[in-house]
Amino acid sequence: MISHLGIEKISASYVSNVAKDLDSKVIEFLSRPVESHIPYLFVDASYFKILDGIKYSNKALLVIAGVNKDGIREILSDRIADCEDELTWEDLLLDLKD
């Protein structure tokens, strides 16, 4: 599949380094201050089958998006969880409040 991108071989260490770099950028993005008033919040979840240890399982990607007064949409927070129950959403919203 990666050959479609013009890459013939890619090492596991390269993928690991790219993932670490992306992780730090995602943490920086999610830790940024929200500088404008957000009158509208949208919460949603999508389910994905992921490799969890040695087996595959379904996980929920929870996303909170806000729309500011100018109509600009921003991703405010996200989390991977086992399910989208009330406690998981509440915890994510409380983290957003801080």
Instruction: Specify the pLDDT at position 77.
Output: 87
Is the separation of the CB atoms in 76 and 34 below 8 Å? yes
Supply 18's token pair.
Answer: 């790219």
Instruction: Specify the pLDDT at position 32.
Output: 79
Indicate the pLDDT class of residue 47, thresholds 50, 70 and 90. very high
Instruction: Specify the pLDDT at position 94.
Output: 86
- Is the pLDDT at 98 greater than 70? The verdict is no
- For 90-95, the CB contacts below 8 A with 24+ separation are 92/62, 92/64, 93/43, 93/64
The string of pLDDT tens digits covering residues 65-87 is 999 888 989 888 888 999 889 99
